[in-house]
Amino acid sequence: MTQSPDSSPARTYLDLALKSFEKTAARSNASVSRQFAIAGKIIQFNIATGPMDRHISRGLAHIEVRASYNPDLTIYAWETESSDAEYLRPAWENDAYGFHGLISGFNDARFHTVMQFDPHILRLIDFERHEAIYWMPTARDMPVWERGAPARPLLHEWLRHQGLIPVHGGAVGTPAGGIFLAGAGGSGKSNLALSCLKSSPLFYASDDFCVLSKNPWAIHSLYNTAKIGAVDMVRHPHLKNLESNPTRLENEKALFFLHEHFAERLIKSLTLKAIVLPRVTRAPHSKLVEKSPAAAQRAIAMSTIQMSRSTAGFTFGSVAEFVRALPCYELQIGSDEGEGSRLLQNLLAALS
């Protein structure tokens, strides 16, 4: 595969951006390097100190490792407002913006360049030199999805190029094995995963975004955050007063940083034994029924593609392989809040 030369527009722009980062770090008199381990890969964030450090490190705190490894990827992260640094201006015309913010002339086999809007975030990856930038004009008033999953599209794109499979879904289990929870928003997977934080032997790996690897199929935690609607708070008294955004619940979901309150209940990786599609019912009791791989594929692939639309082909193919490898079930969740997690425990015991 032909690689772009270092004189390409994307590399030239990336070099200019890195000079801007250096100036920003110098103005604030400091930068910090943090390393995180995701599915055996070491990702290092070099962050200009200020609000970006807390924004990035809080959601990834449970997978932070001692900064002593040679990183597989180095991401330079900063924002302009707090440092009073120069605004990172585009080097392309307005008509260069394509689908999903991809910038014409700055994307090829080596480079991935996207301008995200709402909020404004520029991300650029050089897959050959293992460098990336994650820049925004301001880190103030970020929406709940960005606070809960910092740098998600950038991480998803890079992890995909490493042969890993970023997906939308949750996971719970024990060191002996885990269950992947699939479904669109509102299916009940977040409530089911969060219910395992209380009086359950099942550990929490994710309720929203995670990473799959194969041989054997396993799930790797990405963020320690969880989001639920305010109406669901009554189901989780163990989360009362732990939300990070108590003054914003009229307009957004409650956001929890679970590492700060339930560090001992989190698990970083699980070898998967089954795929379960939660579905909330009005029945008095919950029950598990077998489900076809096709139904599981639709649930996982479609909800993932909604989050990362440019990866549709890769996602469909990878998820098809995944669902053919494991038994699939639907968990019809009834009125007993604890019954769902008990059925998952019984399923894991049977499969083991």
Domains of the chain: 9-161 (no CATH), 165-351 (3.40.50)
The span from the CA of 144 to the CA of 63, in Å, is: 21
3-state SS track over the chain: CCCCCCCCHHHHHHHHHHHHHHHHHHHCCCEEEEEEEECCEEEEEEEECCHHHHHHHHHHHHHEECCCCCCCEEEEEEECCCCCCCCCCCCCCHHHECHHHEECCCCCCCEEEEEECCCCEEEEEECCCCEEEEEECCCCCCCHHHHHCCCHHHHHHHHHHCCCEEEECEEEEECCEEEEECCCCCCCHHHHHHHCCCCCCCEEEECCEEEEECCCCEEEECCCEEEECHHHHHHCHHHCCCCCCHHHCCCCCEEEEHHHCCHHHECCEEEEEEEEEEEECCCCCCEEEECCHHHHHHHHHHHHHHHCHHHHHHHHHHHHHHHHHCCEEEEEECCCCCHHHHHHHHHHHHHC
C-alpha distances out from residue 111 to 24, 123, 150, 225, Å: 24, 10, 21, 29
* pLDDT at residue number 185: 73
Residues of the chain falling short of pLDDT 50: 1
* pLDDT at residue number 1: 43
* pLDDT at residue number 28: 64
Is residue 88 within 8 A of residue 292, CB to CB? The reply is no
Rg of the chain (C-alpha set): 21
The span from the CA of 249 to the CA of 229, in Å, is: 8
Q: What is the pTM of this model?
A: 0.93
